[in-house]
Amino acid sequence: MRFSMFKLLRVGRIIVKNLCVDCDFIAGEEMKVLFVCKRGADRSRTGAEMLGAVEGYECLSAGVWSLSKELINWSDLIFCMESEHVDAVLKICPMTEEKIKVLGIPDKYYFNQVELRYLLKERLRPYLGDEVCLRMKMLPDQERRKQEELFQKIFKNLETLER
């Protein structure tokens, strides 16, 4: 369900285009999202950072070994990077299957890798919608600063050449 597209006034059932959806997300609350990968260091941490920067979302990341019942119950939505991570979540909390989504992102990326950020945005779009995904930062702050510094140097060099 795309929670970001609805303003809910209370816990209950909402109707969108003749589709009834049970919902326990209340307007004004932040959506609590847990990202899960093998170690909780690269893929899930990047996803939590990206979505956590969007207003209305509180995000955490965890590796399969650091999962707990409290962490799983805390979350409104759980994004697992691979299907085997779902098994780890369900082993701890078998009744949480409805809030788990698999993104299908293999363990070959490092933290904040630009390709990983684009892939996360693409895979999150069906669950969060275009509006939320457009508000996600595509470059981490340090990469953005490096890019801005590079552009400034280029523009200074161009100005120098024009004189």
pTM as predicted: 0.71
State how far Cα 153 lies from the chain centre.
Answer: 33
Q: What is the set of domains in the chain, with CATH numbers? A: 30-162 (3.40.50.2300)
The CA distance from 7 to 15, in Å, is: 12
Q: Which contiguous run of DSSP H or E holds residue 78?
A: strand 77-80
Amino acid in the structure at residue 147: Q
The pLDDT tens digits for 92-146 are 999 999 999 999 999 999 999 989 999 999 999 999 999 999 888 776 666 666 6
